[in-house]
Amino acid sequence: MNNIQTVVLDRDGVINFDSPDYILSPEQWQPIPDSLEAIAKLKQAGFQVTVCSNQSALGRGMIDQTTFDAIQAKMIAATEEAGGNFDYIAVCPHGPDDGCGCRKPLPGMLLDTFQVLNIQDKSTVVMVGDSYRDVQAAHAAGIQAVLVSSGYGDAAVIFEKSKQLMPGIQMFTNLAEATQSILEGQS
């Protein structure tokens, strides 16, 4: 992974522990060990760090905007406390049947991120995700992806399926391990 300048992160399963029942309160948002420090390392090394996250609990009415904003505020504050920050955060609040263009596996959030951050060279972007949807979105947007096995899905099945779409894709234990690989690729 040479020449990377922007790292796009999925939220649930990459930055924080995920749940099949969604993250519905600030108390449920718990960072995966070393993920916030990994974000800080990326920022200190000069990378842009962004988040692109499906959050259909909003569109499904499982949480309201105020609660969602409190969850996001907790993530941002915890990341800043660890020495990192985000250049941009994109969220799709829609459910899978809403017909939007932003919900992963579609590339809408990624394309929006490229526009907001004025990213012209997609070869400088990598997506770190924990699901096949993340890999599909990265592929559709024309960028590289890596997987982490820290999400709640079956990581081995996700990895095998993803290799069909991106034969060279790598899988790491967590964001800290993926970050180490990204940083080593720059030296």
- Which residues are catalytic, by number? 10, 12
Q: How far apart are CA 182 and CA 113, in angstroms?
A: 20
The answer to whether 109 touches 52, Cβ cutoff 8 Å, is yes
Cα atoms found within 13 Å of the Cα of residue 74, Cβ hemisphere only: 17
Handedness of CA 156, 176, 13, 95 (dihedral sign): negative
Q: Which is it for strands 48-54 and 6-9: parallel, antiparallel or unpaired?
A: parallel
- Tokens (6 digits) for 158: 């996700």
- Tokens (6 digits) for 63: 């949480």
Handedness of CA 35, 110, 91, 44 (dihedral sign): positive
Q: Identify the CA nearest to 35 among candidates 179, 158, 183.
A: 179
Residue identified by tokens 């992974």 is 1
- Tokens (6 digits) for 168: 């060279």
